[in-house]
Amino acid sequence: MKTKKWKASKELIRLFQTVGRASLIYDIQDSHSGNMALLWTEKKGDKKIVITSTGSQKGDLEPNQICFLSASETDFGYYKASSETDIHARILTSKDVYASMHCHTKDLVIATLDDEKKPNKPAPFVPIDPLGYYFLGGLVPVDWFKVPSGSPEMIRTIPERLSNHPVTVVQAHGAFSRGRTLKEAFFLLCIANNSGYIVRLANKLGINVKGLRNKIQSDPDSFFTYPPAKYLIEEEKPCDFPEEEEITREFFKAGARIFESRLSPFHTGSLSIRGVKTMLYAPMASMPREIGGPLREIPLSLDKSDSPELQIHKKIYAKSNFQTVIHCYVPEAEALSYFTNPGETEPVDRIVPVDAEGSFLYLVIPVVPQKFDFDELVRLLHDYKVVTVRGGGIWGVGTQSISEVLHHPSSLREICLYRIGALEQGLDLKKMEPKKAKRW
Amino acid sequence: MNHPSFFGHHSKILNIDLSKNLIQSKSLDPAIVEDYLGGRGLATRIFYDEINPECDPLAEDNVLVIATSLLIGTRAPTACRGHMVFKSPLTGLIGSSNCGGTWANVFKSSGYDVLVIKGKAAEPVTIDICPDEVKIISAKHLWGLDVHDTTKKLSTKSEAGKRPSILCIGPAGENLVLISSVMNDKNRAYGRAGSGAVFGSKNLKSIRVSGKKKIQIKDSERFQSGRDQALYLMKAAPITKRLLRELGTSGLLKLINIIDMLPHKNFQDNLHKEKDLEKISGETLRKKILERAGGCFGCPIACQRHTRTGDKNGEGPEYETIVMTGLDCGIYNLEAITNANYCCNELGVDTISFGGTLACAMELFEKGFLSTKETEGAELRFGNAKILREMVKLTAYRKGIGDKLAEGSFRLASFFKHPEFSMTVKKLEIPAYDPRTSFTQALGYMTSPTGACHLRGGYAVSLAFFGGTREIPRFSLLQSPIAIRNMQNLGIIQDSLGICRFTGFAFPTEPWSRMASGVTGMDFSTSRLEEIANRVATLERIFNLEAGMNPEDDTLPDRFSTEPVLVEGKEKLLQKKVIKRMRNDYYEVRGWDVFGIPSQTLLKTLKIKGRKK
């Protein structure tokens, strides 16, 4: 008698392994918790739920820790599958949903804690950053559950929440997301956690988060530079320019650094290098080493179908000699761009490094408003190489290499962390700022 | 129109017509500084206005312009470099040469920003420039002396106790050797492209300058913030902090070998034995012949090598000299190379072009196209170190085969009917980096306005290997045209500010932008500096086209398309189609048409006005 074994393509196993590992690298998971699931159709047409096994290490999934369950009836696979399997199974019955993911998105969880008497209905989470606001549909529901893990009430409530929202939070536990692909589900959790982190930082910096949220909700489009391009799963295709081996390698190295150093959430941001008539473009620049992302060769000339982000890359090239451009959503810079110095009424127009290396590499990092003047942005990029856009991420430029342009968001993140750290310690930033930064 | 002195300048151009024995001081228009900055940019613009591009470079029509920059006379690090522009007798195109030392600084302290020399003196002369007086005096007693003796004779202290600075030629310049240099402070050279011959053709032996005039800085605080940042970054970068001081440029030798870029035997291959390289490396130089390191005026890097071999002492050899008079000639003898270097300095010969020309002669000799009959018995074989010094002398005095070497490798190889052995671009010898090992470097040589020059063409090798965050792929067709345009522009900005290329190892333009704006109060933002660089590059191109350059000359010798070298074990060469694509792409990024001609729209955009006269 033949014993039926779980068999999956190497690609499917690799997908679970790489997304699992990425979730650990991005620190939205703990070693053994969380789970990932997707709908998979066998060769003969049977639908299966593919899900991680309970207690498996998501950073180092073994092939036998990826379970294949019947999507229509209970079978032996349920012995080993995640304790949240029933929740995932219900999520996966929704229209156009083929994947779901649950992570301990710590920053988001912290940002949604309350000390109200239970049971209660916690306030939904409203992101104050453009990625969070647009990708999460303006808000993320938060629910308190008496039994906050695999409980019948969760099985009932979470799929219902996810039918209206891409991400939902189980208070004090974690978040669930759904997507057309596992990568999209992971993407949404990264975005949500990043939004939580920004709100945490904003609270730490004494920024009026409630005020910001009111403004955002009354007129989001004027609060952010532009809505980010939709997460297109068909973007996930191989490189357009394999003959440029060295450049391709540079793109993947930079993409991995953006992701691993949390310079922009998974598959956000963009990176380009210009040629004479075309540019090589990574539209989802934050790319984990093992997952990567699309690399496109596209004309330098503007096209109506270009996303606002791509248009800015092209316009910068048209107005300068720069060879590389980067756009990232550095969370620390986003939060600091709303900071108001003590005794002042308007948020800062520059981020002044208070650390040694930052202050010698950059006189200041200019902060421009959401709806900035483009010529002014280019002028500032010439003089300062990196600019923070309030509600629009950061833009950096390089005269030569991808490595050079990558350095800007990386340095900026450190510069911001030092400033935030100094504030946490109650230090007077004005006293610490170099004199030269007063005139810039 | 008279222009009052403006910040960072004395606002004075010193015009000297040697034919008419005429000395005139004209005012410097601040608008030209705003558009062309100083140094290379300023000199190029003034040169362009003054010269007939079709003139014979060795006739009195040739004009020679030496410009200082707005940073010279300030405490900006390395800001001491003068820039000389002339029509090159070697290439027939623009000659554009930059030099450190003290001369440019002292010249500026004499109260002038720019020196323009025209005409031809009836007999050998020296120009003596002091704040109170400028004189043209006879140099008959100096004619025939070498650079060191000339400098010594002219270096008497002024009444104020200040030692003057001397710019002069040696016998090579006097004998119109096309690869001769003008020397400053004995051992610093305005090398490449035959500036020495232009001096010689004008019967101009030397220019002595002295003075103590200072310039005013508009915004000291702004200047200082840029200076602080520059110094910090130079102290932080190992190349500017340590390597160049300890090993000089010769410290590059082993490094460049790692990326297989060191030429060998007239660029026939790039293969060297490690034990051979060890004999001439920067490390060996330090152990065996270095007396002390030195620096140009105001330079914290101090890359100069003051050396001694036997009973002789002098300066050098630099990396380029070691490679071109050494490796490219198959010679790994440090003493012979150093002595040849001393001799080149004393007689005023460009070491790069000399090495490239001798290597060409050696290949001709070994392949039977040149014999001991022509060489008067000298065995011009690769590796023959014994002939090095003698060949420098024969070249400088145009004696025997030296008369042919004095013409540079293109004319030499053409004379012997094998121009294919001349490793030149636009008749200028290719320096010490094999172009097959980096697309960007190759394109730099192809498009350099002066012919194959690693400095005017863009010092791309640093991008390929030790450019820090700016390092780029070596074999990217997509990236090379823009990378080299940007590198050339950085070079133009550095040359136009009178600062050293080596600062580029530590940082690009931002601190300079602040210093330049601080000194003058003018807007020299980095975007303005870029605009100026584009303007200068295009004006140089226009001159070259007017001087008869054919865009087809923007290419490399056939050897680089047909004879591969090994890079990390793989054969590399530059196919003709690669050369063509890179050239066309480069034209496009420069805004030039498919024939390499700047369009009228570009001239309008860059606000390049036509010739004044």
DSSP B65: E
Q: Could A273 and B479 be called an inter-chain contact, meaning their C-beta atoms sit closer than 8 Å? A: yes
Residue B1 has pLDDT above 50, yes or no: no
State how far Cα B267 lies from the chain centre.
21
Instruction: Please check whether residue B474 touches A, CB under 8 A.
Output: yes
Omega cis (within 30) before A265: no
Residue B349 has pLDDT above 80, yes or no: yes
Chain B residue numbers touching A383 (CB-CB < 8 A) = 510, 513, 525-527
Residue A2 has pLDDT above 50, yes or no: no
Question: Is the CB of residue B18 less than 8 Å from the CB of residue B206?
Answer: no
For chain B, the first-to-last Cα distance in angstroms comes to 16
Which residue of B225, B482, B514 is in closest CB contact with A323?
A: B482
Tokens of B486: 């940007």
* Dihedral pair phi/psi, residue B463, rounded to 5°: -65, -30
Which of B 231-250 lie inside 8 A of A, CB atoms? 232-233, 236
Residue B71 has pLDDT above 60, yes or no: yes
Residue-wise pLDDT for B304-324, tens only, equals 999 999 999 999 999 999 999
CA of A243: which chain B residue's CA is closest?
A: B476
* CATH H superfamily, domain A233-438: Class II aldolase/adducin N-terminal domain (3.40.225.10)
Residue A135 has pLDDT above 80, yes or no: yes
What count of other Cβ atoms lies within 10 Å of the Cβ of residue B552? Answer: 9
Looking at residue A396, its amino acid is G
Residue B107 has pLDDT above 90, yes or no: yes
Residue-wise pLDDT for B405-463, tens only, equals 999 999 999 999 999 999 999 999 999 999 999 999 999 999 999 999 999 999 888 77
Residue-wise pLDDT for A387-426, tens only, equals 999 999 999 999 999 999 999 999 999 999 999 999 999 9
pLDDT (0 to 100) of residue A70: 86
* Average confidence (pLDDT) over A225-241: 83
CA distance B196 to B178: 8
Q: Which residues have a Cβ under 8 Å from the Cβ of A318 and sit 6 or more positions away?
A: A300
Question: What region, left, alpha or beta, does residue A391 occupy, with left being phi > 0 and alpha being psi -120 to 50 degrees?
Answer: left
ipTM of the complex: 0.85
Q: Count Cβ atoms within 10 A of the Cβ of residue A157 and give its class: 0-12 exposed, 13-18 middle, 19 or more buried.
A: middle
- Provide Rg for chain B, Cα atoms: 22
What count of other Cβ atoms lies within 10 Å of the Cβ of residue B377? Answer: 7
Residue-wise pLDDT for B500-526, tens only, equals 999 988 888 989 999 999 999 999 999
Q: Could A400 and B463 be called an inter-chain contact, meaning their C-beta atoms sit closer than 8 Å? A: yes
Spell out the domain ranges in chain A. Answer: 11-205, 233-438
CA of B585: which chain A residue's CA is closest?
A: A276
The number of CA neighbours under 13 Å toward the Cβ of A119 is 8
The sign of the CA dihedral B308, B314, B315, B318 is: negative
pLDDT (0 to 100) of residue B43: 98
Residue holding tokens 């092939």? A63
Residue A258 has pLDDT above 90, yes or no: yes
| Lowest model confidence (mean pLDDT) among A76-85, B183-192, B212-221, B418-427 | A76-85
pLDDT (0 to 100) of residue A394: 98
pLDDT (0 to 100) of residue B459: 87
CA distance A320 to A323: 9
Q: Could B530 and A382 be called an inter-chain contact, meaning their C-beta atoms sit closer than 8 Å? A: yes
Are A11-205 and A233-438 equal in CATH topology?
yes
Mutate to test the interface with B, among A248, A361, A375, A382 (most CBs of B within 10 A): A382
Residue-wise pLDDT for B159-201, tens only, equals 555 789 999 999 999 999 999 999 999 999 999 999 999 999 9
Q: Could A241 and B478 be called an inter-chain contact, meaning their C-beta atoms sit closer than 8 Å? A: yes
A-B CB pairs within 8 A amount to 96
Set out the domains of chain B in order of their start, with CATH numbers: 12-209 (3.60.9.10), 242-429 (1.10.569.10), 438-505+525-605 (1.10.599.10)
Mutate to test the interface with A, among B218, B443, B477, B479 (most CBs of A within 10 A): B479
CA of A404: which chain B residue's CA is closest?
A: B469
- A11-205 topology per CATH: L-fuculose-1-phosphate Aldolase (3.40.225)
Mean pLDDT of chain B: 95
Q: Could B221 and A383 be called an inter-chain contact, meaning their C-beta atoms sit closer than 8 Å? A: no
Q: Could A400 and B527 be called an inter-chain contact, meaning their C-beta atoms sit closer than 8 Å? A: no
Q: What angle do CA A206, A209, A210 make, to 5 degrees?
A: 130
pLDDT band at B98 (very low <50, low <70, confident <90, very high): very high
Question: Is the CB of residue A278 less than 8 Å from the CB of residue A241?
Answer: no
Q: Calculate how close chain A gets to B94, using CA atoms only, in Å.
A: 25
Which residue of B469, B489, B589 is in closest CB contact with A276?
A: B589
pLDDT (0 to 100) of residue B467: 75
